[in-house]
Amino acid sequence: MTNGSTIAIEPGTMRDYDALADFHYRAGPPATVARGRRGAPAVLRARDAETGALAAVLVVSMPTLNGLWRDLAWPGRYSTGDKRRDAARVNAELRCISRVVVDPRWRGLGVASGLVRAYLDRPLTPATEALAAMGGVCPFFERAGMTPYTLPPAPHDARLLDALWACGVEPWSLLDPVIARRTLERRPWLERELRAWARGSPTTRRHAGADAAPLARLAAARASVRITAYAAVREK
């Protein structure tokens, strides 16, 4: 990894994340930050070994208790039917790489995959997972050795996609304000589907009352994304 410099990967802090957070495609910090072996936040940073300039940061979080991708990666391991036992096993065995943020000046140099490999060399738990909306475009988790699993769309996304396909509309086309407005004028019933889509998830529910055209663009952006899950197990 070089642009004329040597990269050093070392423990970081949430201040490092804050310094680069604006470069990540997801707004807001991770919901949780896991603790490392000495109780410090589980953060790695990459910096220029000569100048000390911060190049990238990786944050590890506690996993969500439910994840459809886990039965793809670890069939039956975390879905035994005993919710208490499953939750205890998830918390004990799994951690999630929730953020990998690279300063634009250091992109394309393998810094992101280097950070992920560094974490996987000494993970906090036997199993590691990650979710990425941009995995198909920038598959650095896979380059670092994690196994990808493409997830099906969520039910509310699938319903909206079916509605769009039924009327011959490509989801991405609604990102154009003119096309979104014309589509809604020609197919007024689509507004009802857009509002049902917004109500289908806690993260979009607050947009259910928005004007139809901006809501169409939001729905197109969200529903068009195919989430990729990644999983890795530490070799014994």
Give the domain CATH number at 40: 3.40.630.30
Q: Please tell me whether residues 22 and 117 are part of one structural domain.
A: yes
Residues spanned by the domain of 56: 7-150
Report pLDDT digits (tens) over 167-225. 888 888 888 888 888 899 999 999 999 999 999 888 889 999 999 988 998 888 877 77
Q: Please tell me whether residues 141 and 106 are part of one structural domain.
A: yes
Question: How many angstroms separate the CA atoms of 111 and 121, rounded?
Answer: 15
On whether residue 235 sits in a domain, the answer given is: no
Question: How many angstroms separate the CA atoms of 29 and 21, rounded?
Answer: 8
Instruction: Kindly report the average pLDDT of the chain as a whole number.
Output: 89
Q: Please tell me whether residues 93 and 160 are part of one structural domain.
A: no
Q: Residue 171: its pLDDT value, please?
A: 84
List beta partners, residue 231: 129, 147
On whether residue 71 sits in a domain, the answer given is: yes
On whether residue 232 sits in a domain, the answer given is: no
Q: Please tell me whether residues 103 and 180 are part of one structural domain.
A: no
Question: How many angstroms separate the CA atoms of 45 and 2, rounded?
Answer: 16
Q: Please tell me whether residues 203 and 101 are part of one structural domain.
A: no
Number of domains in the chain: 2
On whether residue 33 sits in a domain, the answer given is: yes
Q: Please tell me whether residues 28 and 142 are part of one structural domain.
A: yes
On whether residue 85 sits in a domain, the answer given is: yes
Report pLDDT digits (tens) over 39-94. 899 999 999 989 999 999 999 999 999 888 899 999 999 999 999 999 999 999 99
Q: Residue 236: its pLDDT value, please?
A: 53
Give the DSSP letter string of 156-174. HHHHHHHHHHHTT--GGGG
Average pLDDT over residues 112-119: 96
State which H helix or E strand residue 14 sits in: helix 14-20
More confident residue, 231 or 234: 231
| Contacts of residue 77, Cβ cutoff 8 Å, sequence gap at least 6 | 70, 89
Q: Please tell me whether residues 33 and 141 are part of one structural domain.
A: yes
Most confident of the following: 10-14, 132-136, 162-166, 199-203 = 10-14
Q: Please tell me whether residues 137 and 196 are part of one structural domain.
A: no
Q: Please tell me whether residues 86 and 14 are part of one structural domain.
A: yes
Q: What is the pTM of this model?
A: 0.79
Tokens for 142?
């896979």
Q: Residue 135: its pLDDT value, please?
A: 63
Question: Taken in order 106, 109, 112, 118, is the CA torsion positive or negative?
Answer: negative
Average pLDDT over residues 17-29: 86
List beta partners, residue 59: 43, 99
Q: Residue 2: its pLDDT value, please?
A: 46
pLDDT band at 4 (very low <50, low <70, confident <90, very high): low
